[in-house]
Structure 1
Amino acid sequence: MMQNLLKTDRQAADWGILFAVGVCIAIIALGGYLTQFPLATEDPTAPDMFLGFFYQWQLANPTILSRLTAWVAFAVHTLLIWMTIYWAVEKSPRTYTDRLKPVNYVALGINALFIVLHYLQTAVFYDGLAQDVPSWTAQFTVIMMLFIIIAIENRRRGMFFGKKVPFRKEFYRWLRDYHGYAFSFAVIYTFWFHPMVFTWGHLVGFLHVMLVMVQGSLMFTRMHLNRKWILILELLVLPHSAIIAMTQANSLAYMFVFGFMSIFIVTQMHTLRLKTWVKNLIYLGFVATLLYVYLFVRQPYQINEVIRIPLIDYLMIFMTYGLWLLFARLTGRVDSLRVEEPAPPMPVAGD
């Protein structure tokens, strides 16, 4: 049935978006029903509290079964998707076409099945992984995914105002072969961390992770490389994080909004190949906004909020590259720590 409905990668992306929006509507419909579950109250000894944040969407009295359903589903979901990645990387032709391969249908089906299962699991047990692990773990997995995307896309759009960082071609090969395992773990962990409750922050977050699942399922298709599609997936983290911070009445909203906007201006917007005058207008608008906010709304010394997230992301990229390069040199995979030739560009998909 799926093969009759979905023949191309763009059709799969379109139907994936519709499916994700439909699930979000179902989450809204479920909202009132979930009020029957008594939730935990703020605990000063909770693992999150050293960051000044308490994740409130967890049961007051969790059971072994409520915990087990979340953890087992997360583990099985992850392992099955890892099997499809292995199938695609090791057993399928590495050709980028607009036609779906059997592995794409299987990956789409697995993700759709576990999305429905999580919805039912929330309705029956409410629990997610949040019951047992702090929320910063879910945040870190998303940050990891974002900085790896920046590293991979360096070959096409550059990293700093369109300028490329000269990483070794073997580094990109390593990222190509293994980023799927890291991304799928990150998105599935985040997906099962949260119960499917209705707040605007959760809703945007679930929309984001479901679309990333669609992207991961379209491995070795042209849509998987589509610049604008990738950019949309990168940018969805901005409204999600800002809404969460604002609903918590937290000043971190400035850090999230301006931090992710900085990454967009320095790196991501160069995907769009904008004219120079358009870029200059965006630069001026951003600087003017910062001047207004940190002179009249916030305090001038608080402008360090703008660089916190970009600093973490870019440092993590260079730390990852440095560790990979050291390991590759020690194991004989490369014979020098220097870049000897420029990395070839990635295959280009239609925009």
Structure 2
Amino acid sequence: MGGASEDSASSLRASQAWIAASLFSIAFIVVIWMLGPNLESFIGTLLPDKSAAWYYWKLPERRAGSMLIVWALYLVHQFSVWGAIYWARNNLSGKPPSQTLTRYNVAVLAINAVFIVLHLAETQILFDGLAQDVPIWTSQGSVIVMLVVVLVIENRRRGFLLGRRIDRPFTVGVTRFFRENHMYVFAWALVYTFWFHPMAVDPQLLSGFIYMFFLFTQMSLAWTWIHLDAKWIVFLESYVAIHAMMVAIYNTLQHGSPAMWPMFFAGFAFMFVFTYQFALKTSRTLRMTIIGAYLLFVSWLYLPESLGLGRELAYLTRLEVLWIPIILYLLALVFGGGVYLFKRE
């Protein structure tokens, strides 16, 4: 890895910044939790959950002045990050990953920290996020886009499925296209999703916000070696399984929704077992053990209650465990294939 360059803005090592940002993320979740009781006057007015398309954490009535402030904060945050990425692409692209922080890293770490604090203050005063004005699928879809693009980018390093690389449509040129341009899309997905939700105290929101803070750390440390670290990337991809499971369990317990946590957890866990783990330098024995353990877990889900969870076999026959992997793999092929045809490789 390259050492400090003329673009370095700090002698602080990227690894030290990663540790500090991670600790900040955990500490700030505690702050959100501690301030939670202040939001009771807002939460008491929330309408009952209506459907999968309904977003629970928004006030019953839209307040134009409040939403003007929320949109202004979001747009300033968004364009500040995009501006930093534009500078970095013109000044850092083509250089080896830095061991120390560049001007881009210092700027985006500061930008994100400031707007994390501002979002907390906004929630305490106004409560609503962008969810008041835009549908929930826009936030969910942004995360899916990120996972799909990472599948394309990482294909040449870890393979697409079971460690096997796909050369077409994921050619060197297609991979380079996604690698060079993904930052703008990911920055939109992260900042937009961040401002979509209020910083309320709730298991699914808290698990989502700590994930968001970790992803902000990843974005902030682009052009350093941390950003390319396989273990860190696998952790970020795999955390979705935990968050999705928590959201599903909470919706079942709190709102009486059907128990869908097995589909979400097993579906996203499938991605770790059959794709993500192949980025790690582990033995074939360990990989096969993980695959075996996963298959036993899936079997346990559908065994009778005397032996397992006792989930209805109708879910198994509908192949619920495969829905998420199929969607992610197919979208990756569509994204890659579209760029491949456009570039006429």
Same fold, TM exceeding 0.5? yes
- Distance (Å, rounded) in 2 between the aligned partners of 1:219 and 1:284: 35
Aligned residue identity for 2:147: L
Counterparts of residues 17-36 of structure 1 (less than 5 Å): 17-36=22-41
Q: What secondary structure does 1:7 align onto?
A: strand
Q: What secondary structure does 1:100 align onto?
A: strand
Q: What secondary structure does 1:13 align onto?
A: helix
Given the alignment, which residue of 41, 45, 51 partners 1:39?
45
- Distance (Å, rounded) in 2 between the aligned partners of 1:65 and 1:106: 30
Partner of 1:100: 101
Partner of 1:340: none
**8 Å contact kept, 2:274–2:291:** no
Partner of 2:163: 162
- Distance (Å, rounded) in 2 between the aligned partners of 1:292 and 1:24: 34
Aligned residue identity for 1:71: W
- Distance (Å, rounded) in 1 between the aligned partners of 2:179 and 2:291: 32
- Distance (Å, rounded) in 2 between the aligned partners of 1:8 and 1:39: 47
Partner of 1:347: none
Q: Which moved more, 1:79-88 or 1:59-68?
A: 59-68
Is 2:29 aligned against 1:13?
no
Aligned residue identity for 2:73: A
Is 2:312 aligned against 1:299?
yes
**8 Å contact kept, 1:202–1:240:** no
The Cα of 1:43 is off from its aligned counterpart by 7.3
**8 Å contact kept, 2:207–2:243:** yes
CA offset digits 1:293-312 (Å, max 9, x no partner): 12321222312110011011
Q: What secondary structure does 2:282 align onto?
A: coil
Structure 1: which 5+ runs fail to align?
335-351
Aligned residue identity for 1:39: T
Q: Which moved more, 1:258-267 or 1:298-307?
A: 298-307
The Cα of 1:224 is off from its aligned counterpart by 0.7
CA offset digits 1:10-49 (Å, max 9, x no partner): 11110100111111011101111001114331475xxxx3
Aligned residue identity for 1:222: W
Q: What secondary structure does 1:162 align onto?
A: coil
- Distance (Å, rounded) in 2 between the aligned partners of 1:222 and 1:269: 20
Is the alpha carbon distance of 1:43 and 1:57 closer, same or farther for their aligned partners in structure 2, counting shifts above 3 Å? closer
- Distance (Å, rounded) in 1 between the aligned partners of 2:206 and 2:130: 17
* Identical amino acids, percent of aligned pairs: 35
- Distance (Å, rounded) in 2 between the aligned partners of 1:192 and 1:133: 11
Partner of 1:76: 76
The Cα of 1:178 is off from its aligned counterpart by 0.8
- Distance (Å, rounded) in 1 between the aligned partners of 2:300 and 2:245: 19
Aligned residue identity for 1:259: G
- Distance (Å, rounded) in 2 between the aligned partners of 1:293 and 1:253: 11
- Distance (Å, rounded) in 2 between the aligned partners of 1:267 and 1:302: 24
Aligned-CA RMSD value: 1.5
Given the alignment, which residue of 203, 207, 212 partners 2:210?
207
Q: TM-score, normalised by structure 1?
A: 0.88
Partner of 2:118: 117
Partner of 2:325: 310
The Cα of 1:208 is off from its aligned counterpart by 0.6
The 4+ residue runs of structure 1 with deviation greater than 2 A are 91-95
Given the alignment, which residue of 269, 290, 294 partners 2:277?
269
Q: What secondary structure does 2:248 align onto?
A: helix
Partner of 2:145: 144
- Distance (Å, rounded) in 1 between the aligned partners of 2:325 and 2:158: 17
